[in-house]
Amino acid sequence: MPTKKSPSRKNPLPADVRGHAGELHQQAGGTHPVMTTQMGIPVPDNQNSLRATPRGPTLLEDFILREKITHFDHERIPERIVHARGSAAHGYFELTDSLAEFTTAKVLTEVGKRTPLFTRFSTVAGGAGSVDTPRDVRGFAVKIYTEEGNWDIVGNNIPVFFIQDAMKFPDLIHAVKMEPDRGFPQAASAHDTFWDFVSLMPETMHTLIWAMSDRAIPRSLRMMEGFGIHSFRLINAKGESTFVKFHWRPRLGLQSTVWDEAAKLQGADNDFHRRDLFEAIDSGAFPQWDFGVQLFTEADAEAFPFDHLDPTKLIPEELVPLRIIGRMVLDRWPDNLFAETEQVAYCPANLPPGIDFSNDPLLQGRLFSYLDTQLSRLGGNNFSQIPINAPKCPFHHNQRDGHMQMQVPKGRVAYEPQSLVPDAPRASLAQGFRSFAQASDGSKGRVRAESFADHYSQPRQFWLSQSEIEQAHIASSYAFELSKVETLHVRDAVVGHLRHIDEGLAQRVADALGMAELPPAPQAAASVQDLPPSPALQLIGKMKDTLEGRCVGILVSEGSDGAMVDKIRKAAEKAGATVKIVAPKIAVTLKDGSRLAADGQLAGTPSMVFDAVASVLMPSEGDKLARDSAAVEWFANAFAHLKAIAACKGTQVILQKANVEPDAGVLAIEDVNGFIAAAKTRQWAREPNVRTLA
Ligand code: HDE
């Protein structure tokens, strides 16, 4: 056996990094503060643990090592049981139209005032490390730090919810999360337990049809609507109450992916939505939403053909128009994802005076759940002291002690009433939170109101309000999801429910699943009404023909014409898009001999991450790339995902291999204006040529 020499001789690190005391601070140039332990003790060496001899055992005495490892071991906190995967940003709320007639809440009455906020978007079903683009409802939670306390609007991007009563929430979530015996699928509703549950719960049918629509596969977090879902109350100075629903409307318009694109994005970029939000804010293109309210009285509500306290129902805008009263701007990415995005604790119970709850039984359950979750997730009763959760207005109370108390309260008095100190906090009837004095009658019991019994009229209204394209996508999503369900009676049960929504929808799904005949429809608890179609429920109707906030990819290679690339880049940027260069190598030499650095290498930057694509290639490079599957798929996918394509002559050979057929969205590279116009929208007319829809 050769005798081993001291291992430090073999260490490739320079001497100062190897940790000989005193030399560490020079390693990256400049001056650095001395690294210390949590207790402030200077660290002599951050590379080597304390050993009994150079090749001997590590000593328990090494408090520096133990502290470092112990802290690391506890770096994770329990992830949220739902909405674990989230991305957030700071910004502000600005009121443009006062609601003083309806509420005393200053945030809704002081026009022009900017109130800081923190907004977190999330998927529901997947874990914290899951991908950004599954088919799922998105969380849309806004914490507004008002001068009268924090106001949390903890909503979703879909205006209704699956269930009517808080009692069913754990069942819903257990059904949609990965199945407990096998541990899959992650972040997906396409499996037996979810569809088994919903097939036995007709109240889920409304949210389900929204979840099967393209609303559940958004293109960007910046292109989603947000909804408070439940009815809340506004209370004015006279103590009068008006019901209100809260809405967020993206200024960039709504946009979604197509399902094949969403599925492929999961491979292309796990962080597609997070990166998109980060890059937009980083570049100064701050996302904005209009804030709207639907206001209605108790008497209005009596006349609705549904119960507004039922969270599976929405109020069509045609019935109660939306009044835009403010805007939200997101203009700052968090400094630290854990400290802010992970530790933020939203709670629907956080309301300033002048806003109040309704009796929606789902909301009532939520008022309990969030605080309870946060006590265990954040480790104790002082989580409101974490900077992202702390109010930005003064606060005074007699709550004391507990895990991780960060404050040092002074004085003898931590109770009330008291007579020892003059300036201790006291409740104020005049300024305090007010609960609407609603009279109630009836008897106590575990009951579901009769007025909650109609489960099919609104999903039917939703279906009939959709464009043909949207209907085809919805029918196809049902077929896709149910095709993953192995238990045949579950498929039958779902299609049976669809018959109450629309026989045509049920038939399309049944055909796509290869069913020989339509299964029977279950008994409906209330007769299905024909409500008037509501065009405001469309997604396509709310898309904007714009390139603003979108991204155009340009494929180049050795010898490409730089002038042409510049022409497209300028036109796209003028239309509000960002432009990214993609090339087989990360830098190429252009026709004029100049070097162009690519933003992405072709193999790692598929066309799914762009809204439209262009290609400027020398014929010889086109011939070469026609043998590269990444290049062929770049165009095949752009075509299949209904994107505009501008291509030069050198690219034609790749287009042929990719089966890209000429249509209104496939343009010659010289037609820059035509390309920009086509890039502003999806090529819906192409869809029947590229996929079979139900
Ligand atoms: Fe939540 N929900 N939820 N939820 N929810 C949570 O709270 C819960 C519901 C929503 O970005 C949890 O702090 C119950 C409806 C969002 O941090 C938990 C019920 C809506 C977020 C919880 C509901 C939502 C949550 C998990 C039925 C749309 C993420 C971690 C009574 C209006 C907020 C946490 C963020 C998070 C419970 C129903 C939206 C477990 C019991 C309806 C956007 O407390």
Decide which of 515, 541, 567 is a domain's last residue: 541
Ligand 1 centroid to residue 81 C-alpha, Å: 9
Annotate 627-657 with three-state secondary structure.
Answer: CCHHHHHHHHHHHHCCCEEEECHHHHHHHHH
Is residue 4 a part of any domain in this protein?
no
pLDDT over 50 at 307, yes or no: yes
Predicted local distance difference test score (pLDDT) of residue 441: 84
Q: What is the pLDDT of residues 24-80, one digit of tens each?
A: 444 556 789 999 999 999 999 999 999 999 999 999 999 999 999 999 999 999 999
Ligand 1 atom nearest residue 120's Cα: 11
Q: Do 498 and 574 belong together in one domain?
A: no
Predicted local distance difference test score (pLDDT) of residue 282: 98
Predicted local distance difference test score (pLDDT) of residue 28: 59
How far apart (Å, rounded) are the C-alpha atoms in residues 509 and 11? Answer: 65
Q: What is the pLDDT of residues 400-435, one digit of tens each?
A: 999 999 999 999 999 999 999 999 999 999 999 999
Ligand 1 centroid to residue 73 C-alpha, Å: 28
Token digits for 244? 């209100």
Q: Do 142 and 185 belong together in one domain?
A: yes
Annotate 487-507 with three-state secondary structure.
Answer: CHHHHHHHHHHHHHHCHHHHH
Q: What is the pLDDT of residues 75-133, one digit of tens each?
A: 999 999 999 999 999 999 999 999 999 999 999 999 999 999 999 999 999 999 999 99
Q: What is the pLDDT of residues 363-402, one digit of tens each?
A: 999 999 999 999 999 999 999 999 999 999 999 999 999 9
Residue nearest to atom 43 of ligand 1 (CA): 139
Q: What is the pLDDT of residues 226-237, one digit of tens each?
A: 999 999 999 999
Residue nearest to atom 34 of ligand 1 (CA): 370
Is residue 16 a part of any domain in this protein?
no
Domain containing 492: what range? 455-541
Token digits for 532? 């008037």
Determine whether 364 is exposed, middle or buried from the number of CB atoms within 10 Å of its CB (0-12, 13-18, 19+): middle
Is residue 642 a part of any domain in this protein?
yes
Q: What is the pLDDT of residues 554-592, one digit of tens each?
A: 999 999 999 999 999 999 999 999 999 999 999 999 999
Q: Do 380 and 520 belong together in one domain?
A: no
Q: Do 171 and 316 belong together in one domain?
A: yes
Ligand 1 centroid to residue 141 C-alpha, Å: 9
Give the confidence band of 618 by pLDDT, cuts at 50, 70, 90. Answer: very high
Predicted local distance difference test score (pLDDT) of residue 21: 45
Predicted local distance difference test score (pLDDT) of residue 1: 39
What's this model's pTM, rounded to 2 decimal places? 0.95
Ligand 1 mutation pick, 346, 372, 375, 383, max ligand atoms within 8 A of CB = 346
Residue nearest to atom 20 of ligand 1 (CA): 155
pLDDT over 60 at 22, yes or no: no
Residue nearest to atom 3 of ligand 1 (CA): 366
Ligand 1 mutation pick, 140, 154, 347, max ligand atoms within 8 A of CB = 154
pLDDT over 70 at 13, yes or no: no
By the 8 A CB rule, do 85 and 130 touch? yes
How far does the chain reach from its first CA to its final CA, in angstroms? Answer: 72
DSSP H helices, 527-641, are 562-574, 619-625, 629-640
Q: Do 93 and 172 belong together in one domain?
A: yes
Q: What are phi and psi of 245, to 5 degrees?
A: -115, 140
Q: What percent of the chain has pLDDT over 70?
A: 96
Residues 6 or more apart in contact with residue 606 via CB below 8 angstroms = 264, 268, 630, 633, 634, 637
Predicted local distance difference test score (pLDDT) of residue 147: 98
Predicted local distance difference test score (pLDDT) of residue 30: 76
Is residue 6 a part of any domain in this protein?
no
How far apart (Å, rounded) are the C-alpha atoms in residues 531 and 461? Answer: 6
Q: Would you tell me how many other CB atoms lie within 10 Å of the CB of residue 228? A: 22
Predicted local distance difference test score (pLDDT) of residue 7: 42
CATH number at residue 660: 3.40.50.880
How far apart (Å, rounded) are the C-alpha atoms in residues 561 and 615? Answer: 10
Is residue 438 a part of any domain in this protein?
no
Ligand 1 atom nearest residue 370's Cα: 44
Q: Do 572 and 633 belong together in one domain?
A: yes
Ligand 1 atom nearest residue 344's Cα: 17
Q: Do 515 and 620 belong together in one domain?
A: no
CB-side exposure of 296: number of CA atoms within 13 Å? 23
Q: Do 479 and 623 belong together in one domain?
A: no
Decide which of 323, 350, 385 is a domain's last residue: 385
Is residue 622 a part of any domain in this protein?
yes
Q: What is the pLDDT of residues 472-517, one digit of tens each?
A: 999 999 999 999 999 999 999 999 999 999 999 999 999 999 999 9
Decide which of 385, 406, 435 is a domain's last residue: 385
Residue nearest to atom 30 of ligand 1 (CA): 80
Q: Do 155 and 68 belong together in one domain?
A: yes
Is residue 190 a part of any domain in this protein?
yes
Token digits for 397? 């109370």
Residue nearest to atom 27 of ligand 1 (CA): 166
Q: Do 504 and 566 belong together in one domain?
A: no
By the 8 A CB rule, do 404 and 375 touch? no
Ligand 1 atom nearest residue 165's Cα: 31
How far apart (Å, rounded) are the C-alpha atoms in residues 182 and 248? Answer: 38
Ligand 1 atom nearest residue 81's Cα: 26
pLDDT over 80 at 673, yes or no: yes
Residue at token pair 């990166």: 275
Is residue 24 a part of any domain in this protein?
no
pLDDT over 90 at 12, yes or no: no
DSSP state of 353: T
Q: State how many domains the chain has.
A: 3
Ligand 1 centroid to residue 348 C-alpha, Å: 9
- Triad 320, 238, 351: Cα angle to 5°: 65
pLDDT over 80 at 19, yes or no: no
CATH number at residue 498: 1.20.1370.20
The per-residue b/e assignment along 587-621, b for 16 or more CB within 10 angstroms, e otherwise, is ebebeeeeeeebebebeebbbbbbbbbbbbbbeeb
Q: Do 491 and 460 belong together in one domain?
A: yes
How far apart (Å, rounded) are the C-alpha atoms in residues 295 and 235? Answer: 12
pLDDT over 60 at 6, yes or no: no
Q: What is the pLDDT of residues 434-460, one digit of tens each?
A: 999 998 888 999 999 999 999 999 999
Q: Do 519 and 565 belong together in one domain?
A: no
CATH number at residue 135: 2.40.180.10
What lines the ligand 1 site, CB under 6 Å?
A: 80-83, 86, 120, 122, 139, 141, 154-156, 161, 166, 169, 229, 311, 344-346, 362, 365-366, 369-370, 373-374
Known catalytic residues? Answer: 83, 156
